[in-house]
Amino acid sequence: MMQDGEFLRTSCGSPNYAAPEVISGKLYAGPEVDVWSCGVILYALLCGTLPFDDEHIPTLFKKIKAGYFHMPESLSTEVRDLLRRMITVDPIKRATIEEIRRHPWFIEDLPNHLFPQERDEDASIIDKEAVFEVCQACNVSEREVFAALLNNDPSDQLCVAYHLIIDNK
C-alpha cells in the first residue's frame, strides 16, 4: 500500500491514459495519476473517443502534456466541469478522489448506501439479521461489522455490504 509522501517512477499502462507527469519521467503520486486516468476513461465512456489520441507516440505525448482536448457540446455542464477538473495537467490543481465523490454530477443519482445521508434516529437501528449476513459473507465478526457501521464510512466494504443487504430486503 502506498503511503502519503511516497512517489513512484514506473511508467506502465496504455500511453493514451497516462498522466503528463508519468510520460515526463517525473516523480509522481499514485492517486493524482489515477484521477487523470479515470478522467480519460470517463471521457471515453461518455464520448466514445479518447481525449488524447495519435498514432505517433511523440505527438500523443505533446497533446497529453498540453492538456488540450475537445469537449463535445452534448455533454452536460456538470460533467464537463468534472472532466476538466480530472484531466488537468498540474497534479496539484487536479481534482482529488474526495472532490470527485462530492461533485454534483457524481452524486446526482448515487444510491443512498454509497452516499449516506445525515444520521437520524431510524439510522441508529441496526438490523441484526443483516449484520449476520455480512459476517457470513465477509467472514468477519459482529464486532467488526458494528465498528464499521459506527464509523459510517461509505467506502468501507462492510458498510457497503450491510447497506446492500438492507436495500435488497
The grid coordinates listed for 65 are: 502534456
Its sign, for the CA torsion 91, 92, 93, 96, is positive
Q: What is the pLDDT of residue 12?
A: 47
Q: What is the mean pLDDT of residues 80-86?
A: 97
CATH class, domain 15-109, is mainly alpha
Q: What secondary structure letter does DSSP report for 149?
A: H
Judge whether 15-109 and 113-167 match in fold. Answer: no
pLDDT band at 163 (very low <50, low <70, confident <90, very high): confident
Please state the domain extents for the chain: 15-109, 113-167
Q: What is the pLDDT of residue 87?
A: 98
Angstrom CA distances, 127 to 19, 35, 84, 124, 150, stand at 44, 36, 42, 10, 13
Q: What is the mean pLDDT of residues 41-52?
A: 95
Q: What is the mean pLDDT of residues 115-127?
A: 59
Residue with cell 511523440: 58
Residue 51 near residue 87, CB atoms below 8 Å: yes
Q: What is the pLDDT of residue 38?
A: 97
Question: What integer best gives the mean pLDDT of the chain?
Answer: 85
| CATH 1.10.8.10 fits domain 113-167 | yes
**Predicted model pTM:** 0.62
Weakest-pLDDT range from 22-26, 39-43, 91-95, 151-155: 151-155
Residue with cell 478522489: 97
pLDDT band at 140 (very low <50, low <70, confident <90, very high): very high
pLDDT band at 76 (very low <50, low <70, confident <90, very high): very high
